[in-house]
Structure 1
Amino acid sequence: MAAYRTARMKKIKTAFIFAGLVLSALLIIDRVLPLSLPSQSDLFARVVVDRDGRPLRAFPDSKGVWRYAVELEEISPLYLDSLLTYEDRRFWYHLGLDPLAIFRAAFSNLKNGKVVSGGSTISMQVARLLHPHSKTIGGKLYQIFRTFQLEFHLSKKEILSLYCNIAPFGGTIEGVQAASYTYLNKPASELSHAEAALLAVLPQSPTRYRPDLHPQKAQQARDKVLERMVKLNVWPEALVQEAKLEAVYAHRRSPERHAPLLARKLISEAQKNKQLKSVISSTLDGELQRSLEDYLKYYIEGQAEKTSAAALVVDNRTQEVISYIGTADFGNPERFGHVDMVQAIRSPGSTLKPFLYALAFDQGLIHSHSLLSDTPQNWQEYRPGNFSGGFAGPVSATEALQRSLNIPAVSLLEKVGAKNFNAQLHNAGLKLQIPDNEANLSIILGGAGTSLEQLVQAYSLFAHGGQVHKLKYSRQPRETPTRFFVSQKAAWLTHTILRGVDRPGSVRAFSSLAMAKKMAWKTGTSYGFRDSWAIGVDRNYTIGVWVGRPDGTPNPGASGRSNAGPLLHAIADHLPDARLAIQQPDNIQQQSICWPLGTLESEQKKEHCHKRLKAWIIDDTVPPTGVTQQGSLLGNPYTYWLDTHTGKRVHSYCKTEQRVKNTVALWPASLEPWLAEKHRRHKQIPALSENCSQLVANFSGLQITALEEGSIFQSPVNMSTAPNIPLQASGGEGKQDWYVNGLYHHSAYAMNAASLQLKQKGEYQIVVSDESGNVDKVNIRYQ
């Protein structure tokens, strides 16, 4: 008995040792031959999706295979039911091999004398996909080993997820998500019963059942799956019969190529930050993106050769970018379709002017209808003109901004300070690239560089109460610092002024929208017509548009209003709830002011109010009309003494017994040629009495000679020679600067004649100014 027990214990011990050795051997083999589990970085294509998870742009893996990562929770249960019912009914219970399925397949194959059925489980198929093997007994044993290895290391959900991501679906398409988008143009979460059955059977024979190549065979295979679902009481027969009515179409979609430049940017940033995932979720509205891509391509076809366009649309409620079009025709070398013009550094033209006016409002330098002078001025040989040609004379701050007049903007920048203005923009995230990093007055007219992205981000401050929020391209939550630029009141006032800019008339031909709702918008045109800009902002959206030639060559005649403006408003037409006004803040109200003093009407004498206007006033601060660079040294109102007997002006050194004090409101001296006769200085201030010595300023002005207002010139009869007209002026002080249609022509001294050849027919505005700020002008016509 004792010997029996000893022998039995030896057998048990031997069995344990053998089992231990086998287990150790298996563990060693498992270490030596580890599973080739793909990593996220190697397995999937890089897919950038819109905010609803639909692919925008995909990049295949290093082997050119398209796989879109998908979680089991993102796959329709109908597909999982079809797959497991048809391929592996006992998947959740077996250890990798299903003996019943193997026995059934073997019996069926023997019965038919050929292979008509396989016994491979989902786990075995995954093992074969990860570790391909030969079709031999040794290869099958190798597959079984890898299957057990797979079941040992992974959970059932992980194995099923692997299958759904790497199963072959024909050609370079792998995984159910990629197959669903390629063949059905929908995510795997939205599959119908018929579609689920089709994709469940397709990996059995990816080439033979490909719906784009063999739709009839694919439909027959699908119907077998549907019949199996009825036979096993998974789906009701009525539902299956209805599903069979769905035809399988020969269709295959190419991988999406939307927002290609943004996709490249997001993937590059993810690689840089070592956060590269197979699926990158963007903030783009997919439908809007596709629609605007088509529209920009159509729009640019009507532009000159080599011209491209870019657009950026931001939802102000979230600061998310909902459309990003870096080029109008991606991949077209003739239009530089590979260059991202949302990021490119270009001259902004006049698009920085709203920020300058907002700062001036905030600093109390001007109110909405402060009197500004659009007259010839120069700043140390810097003589800017106006884009439209000519000078407007007296203008309000509102009109100057709406018309984008250059002289008032440069004058205002001189008061704010170019360096201070640049620093404020930089702090708000708009970082100008300036030659030699030295800010000067030219930056307000485009003498710097910036990008469409930075401009749009900065313009959104007008919808955010003067604060700048960083643009969002990804749905991943992150903290975005807020930067202050101006007060809510200054932002609202600037926005309100820009809402008064009329929409380009050319758009009305193809838009029936009522003009009751207006978008605040500003255009810009860089030097030489190289860049056309239009930036718009309302309560819900900020839109930026650039049109031009990416290689920097000029596009003569292409302005921001004519080229970019129509495109901006067409984009706004695509947006729901666009052109809504921003709520007016407290402590800003309209009050009556008077020119030329610029202060409240209620605080002026009646005779000092030459022109009454309604102005927006912030915090009851009403800045008076400022002295321009070439302004008068006289006080305003100007006080003088009047001889009651002669009606002439006198001073303390005059021999007179009867005199009274009088005051008049003076307009800036440079505006004299634009004023009504009664408001000019020689009419408001009497001549000095003969009994007085010349100790005070006289008011003799500058006058153009040899030309009269409204003169008409023609070429000599039967001759094509353009007429030459003389440019000569008398009076004034010092050097004279001459301007033709707002552009500097030449400098001379009094009575030194020059000439102007009228090369093109039309209206000409001739203006001359001297060193004391005196100005004269005439308008002539060549016909």
Structure 2
Amino acid sequence: MKISKIFKNKIAFTILIILFSIFLINFIVYIIPDEKIDGIEYYSNSVKYYDRNGVLLRYAPSETGEWKLFLPYDKIPKKLISSIIQAEDKRFYWHFGFDLISIARSLAQNIKEKKIVSGSSTLTMQLARILYPHKAGIPGKIYEILRATQIEIKKSKKWILEKYINNVPFGYNSAGFPAASYCYYDKSINELSEEEIAVLCIIPRAPTKYNPFKNREVVFNAVKRLLLNSDGKIDERKLYAAIDGVKERTTKFDSPHFINLLQNELKTKFNRDVYKKTVEIKTTIDNRLQKSAENIVESLVDKYKNNRLTNASVIVLDNKSGEILAYIGSKDFFQEDISGQIDGTKIKNQPGSTLKPFLYALALENGFTPATILPDFELNLGGEENYKPKNYNLRTNGPVRFRVALASSLNIPAVYLLNRLGVKNFINHLLSLNFLSIIENKEDYPGIGLALGNSEVKLTELADAYSVFGRDGVFKKSTGFKEIKTIDSGFTKFDPESHIQKKFVKEYRPKTIYDSKTVFIIFDILSDNKSRSLGFGASQFFIDKKVAVKTGTSSQFGNIWAICLSKEFTVAVWGGNFNGNTVRGVPGASLPLEIASKIIDILPIQKNEISPPPELTAIRICSLSGMRPNGLCASLTTEYFDKTISGNIPICTYHKVGKNNDAYVSFPVEFVHWAKSRGLLSAYQENEMENSAPKILFPTDGSVFFYDPGESASKQGLTITVSCKNGGKPLYYSLNNEGLIKLDYPYKKFIQLSKNEYRLRIYDNDKNLAETVNFSVK
């Protein structure tokens, strides 16, 4: 019977419609984005971290918590691919996601045995199960087939093999053959024998059942069947060797706080593509130095345990490169009773005196010299509460040179300096050094107490900032990354410009903070054993090495600090307790310096003296006045001055000759009361004072003060201080010609001020003008 032409056309049209529908469905499936399928491209890898010399520190899991190691298709051994296809999906290249022959065979076997004895999942279906987890049973299997078909439409066979090989679960929290190779055999996939590959091919079928650690014979029999089915050959001796060669995965965990630091930075600051593709990192850590530093910390913290001290944190930097050589977050990462997993380098604590060098450096950049005389006597600063800073030893020393004040870490001169330079200016200066912690607490904005460390900083911030003095005044953010290896390339040198997200790149760029003169002077002061004797006695911290030292303690020894700095290295140490307990006694407060000193001793530090920059010249001065000696000065010292001002240093005015040709010290008027209270005022100066008119001791003429944004308006001001010998009779003062105001003995009074230019006049008891000073508040 002949088929009509119309019927033929209908059949052809129907076939065409079906083909077009299939094409359309495939096209729609292909172009519609799928987060699961597309997202698998961005799963991160497990990362191997090495020290700078190639010593493995840690093999860390991926962001999903699994042990994964991505290997691109062209790097996957061909013998592995063929073994997987032979074991799991012989007709992989011929089906479109599901295998009807395999499904029929599996169905027949399961019906015959009346239980599930055989599966029918293709490699694509297994990948679909990884991407789209679902419940077991017939509905789940149907869903799996649909998803497998979708994957086949959207992706190539190579892509499917690559993703399966890199993501199939292996138990023990590992996924993918490349990671499993290290987890079970501690070697790369390319180093595996045929038998070892066969063992790995069996495990994903049922990781618990085919656990080679627990079910040796079950694994042996399964692998034997696999090998017999593939080529009919088997060497039982080699097969047993492959099973017995499986190793328990070592959880090497060296430098744990440091690796955690790098993992966080890798995830939050690196470009997404770099982060996802990184598989190995050569860090800057020197593992031998790290181990030595850890032993030092552990032994010394134990030494002071009776002083209620449980923890210490350490950072060692290479000043030239900014690389982290050692990084210790706590005494013991694994000791729970001391909260060892807390990273003390990142905890904000009050830094005590450790901020003073940056204050003094700012002063040098603003016209002060290391010979400038600073006041070390009782000062009344702040508001009506009369903030009165005190030195650590509760003593005052009158006039002290800038160098001595910093080297001895005197508190009163530091507060005076901050008052002169301005709190806001100092805060901005600290921010330029990346001390971001000081402004994070908006409710506790720093005030004048910032000079003594009443704000909070991190040890990481201190270490980075101090390294500036070993790097010619250039700030460089420290880094733990040296070289990075991705799945696309070998090891490449860490480069923030290419590895870091654009919004973070700026913080990695070096910037100049101080000139070479400031850097040299601060370093020279902090390494000057003689000048620190006023505050610390005749202690000699380092005899044969040029090392700058700064220590600090917060109130009641809650936090104790030490920074040791050579031109090559910075060692920063914090000691204390994460639970807030204070350290008992002075011996415990010496812990950080002792740790830093022992680490310095094992570092390759040059013993040569450090030469001053050519812009500085050394000049002999009077030790008391900081001026050129006048022939009467008994104690002289050498100080560095900028050559541009060396010719303007005045002759000493402190040392004079009396009527009887005997020498005496004539203190500047602001130091007279201090000298009198110490019995140091000569009869000549006593007589001068008896017959002198009222003198303004504070503020001095030309002083500039800065409004403190951290204090209320009622506390913004200063205490005028006047000296006069008149039997205690009242004096008078005026401010900007606003009328006379009575000033009673002892001639001290707090006056509230705002930003302005001021003229202060003092009048004697008869209201005759005695002295005028001009000052300003900015």
TM-score by length of 2: 0.63
Q: Which of 444, 447, 457 lines up with 2:454 in the alignment? A: 447
Match of 1:88 in 2: 85
| Partner Cα separation in structure 2 for residue 694 and residue 558 of structure 1 | 45
Q: Is the 8 A contact 2:174 2:180 kept in 1?
A: yes
Instruction: Report the Cα distance in structure 2 between the residues aligned to 1:560 and 1:625, rounded to whole angstroms.
Output: 44
Residue 616 of structure 2 is aligned to residue 617 of structure 1: no
The structure 1 residue matched to 2:595, chosen from 557, 562, 567, is 567
The 5-angstrom pairing of residues 402-551 of structure 1 reads: 402-431=407-436, 432=438, 441-472=448-479, 476-477=499-500, 478-480=505-507, 484-500=512-528, 516-551=544-579
C-alpha change, 1:682 and 1:10, in structure 2 (3 Å) is closer
> What are the within-5 Å matches in structure 2 for residues 52-67 of structure 1?
58=61, 61=64, 66-67=65-66
Which of structures 1 and 2 has the larger relative contact order (alpha carbons within 8 angstroms, sep 6+)? 2
Q: 1:344 — aligned with what?
A: 347
Aligned with 1:536: secondary structure?
A: strand
Using the TM superposition, give the Cα deviation of residue 490 of structure 1 relative to its aligned residue in structure 2, in angstroms: 0.6
Task: Give 1:167 shift.
Answer: 1.0
Q: CA RMSD in A?
A: 6.1
Distance in 2 (CA, whole Å) between partners of 1:133 and 1:254 is 32
Instruction: Give the Cα separation in 1 of the matches to 2:167 and 2:144.
Output: 17
8 Å Cα contact 1:82-1:225 kept in structure 2 = no
> Structure 1 counterpart of 2:559, which letter?
D
**Match of 1:595, as an amino acid?**
S
Counterpart in 1 of 2:70? 71
Counterpart of 2:636, as a letter, is R
* Structure number having the greater helix percentage: 2
Tell me the equivalent position of 1:401.
406
What's the counterpart of residue 653 of structure 2?
636
Range with greater deviation from structure 2 (449-458 or 260-269): 260-269
Deviation of 1:621 after TM superposition, in Å, equals: 3.5
Give me the whole-angstrom Cα distance separating, in 2, the residues matched to 1:397 and 1:344.
Answer: 32
- Alpha-carbon distance in structure 2 between the residues aligned to 1:198 and 1:315: 47
Within 5 A, what are the aligned runs for 1:31-430? 37=37, 39=39, 58=61, 61=64, 66-73=65-72, 77=75, 80-88=77-85, 94-96=93-95, 122-130=123-131, 146-176=147-177, 178-180=179-181, 182-183=183-184, 199-214=200-215, 248-254=245-251, 259=256, 263=260, 285=284, 288=287, 291=291, 296=297, 300-302=301-303, 303=305, 304-305=307-308, 307-319=310-322, 325-330=328-333, 334-337=337-340, 339-367=342-370, 370=371, 376-379=377-380, 382-387=387-392, 397-430=402-435
- In structure 2, how many angstroms separate the alpha carbons of the residues matched to 1:178 and 1:733? 90
Letter in 2 for 1:429: N
For residue 248 of structure 2, what is the amino acid of its counterpart?
Answer: H
* 1:72 CA displacement: 1.9
Kindly provide the CA deviation profile for residues 457-509 of structure 1, in whole angstroms up to 9, marking residues without a partner as x: 3223223332434455776332335555432221232123334569xxxxxxx
CA contact (8 A) 1:456 1:544 kept: yes
CA–CA distance in 2 between the matches of 1:243 and 1:317?
54
2:350·2:453 contact (CA, 8 Å) conserved in 1? Answer: yes
CA distance in 2, matches of 1:554, 1:22: 75
CA contact (8 A) 1:590 1:617 kept: yes
Other structure's SS at 2:641 match? strand
Counterparts of 1:220 and 1:588 in 2: how far apart (Å)? 83
- Structure 1's 596 and 577: CA in aligned 2 closer, same or farther, altered over 3 A? closer
Maintained 8 Å contact 1:638/1:666: yes
How far apart are the structure 1 equivalents of 2:195 and 2:124? 25
Residues 387-396 or 94-103, more deviating: 94-103
Distance 1:578 1:641, change over 3 A: closer
The equivalent residue for 2:700 is none
SS of the counterpart of 1:207? coil
Q: Structure 1 residues 254, 613: closer, same or farther in 2, change over 3 A?
A: same
Q: C-alpha deviations, 1:139-163, integer Å up to 9, x for none?
A: 8887666544323211344323321
CA distance in 2 between counterparts of 1:214 and 1:515 reads 65
Q: Distance in 2 between matches of 1:93 and 1:200?
A: 16
Q: Secondary structure at the match of 2:435?
A: coil
> What amino acid sits opposite 2:70 in the alignment?
E
Distance change (3 Å), C-alpha of 1:207 and 1:9: same
Counterpart code for 1:550:
F
| Pair 215,16 (structure 1): closer, same or farther in 2 beyond 3 Å | same
For these two proteins, the number of residue pairs brought into alignment is 642
Farther off after superposition, 167-176 or 179-188: 179-188
Name the stretch that deviates more: 152-161 or 50-59.
Answer: 50-59
Query: Is residue 44–residue 68 contact of structure 1 (8 Å, CA) maintained in 2?
Result: no
Gaps of 5+ in 2: 482-493, 531-540, 694-724, 729-744, 747-778
* Distance in 2, Cα, partners of 1:495 & 1:253: 46
What secondary structure, in the 3-state scheme, does the structure 2 residue paired with 1:342 have? helix
Check whether the contact 1:330–1:338 (CA below 8 A) recurs between aligned residues.
Answer: yes
1:589 deviates by: 4.2
What's 2:626 paired with? 598
1:532 maps to a residue whose letter is I
CA contact (8 A) 1:540 1:580 kept: no
Alpha-carbon distance change, 6 to 412 in structure 1, aligned in 2, over 3 angstroms: closer
Would the aligned equivalents of 1:124 and 1:144 in 2 still touch at CA under 8 Å? yes
- Cα pair 1:594 1:613 within 8 Å, conserved: yes
| AA at the equivalent of 1:557 | G
Q: What residue in structure 1 maps to residue 19 of structure 2?
A: 19
CA contact (8 A) 2:617 2:641 kept: yes
**Any unmatched runs of 5+ in structure 1?**
503-512, 627-633, 650-662, 698-731, 736-747, 750-783
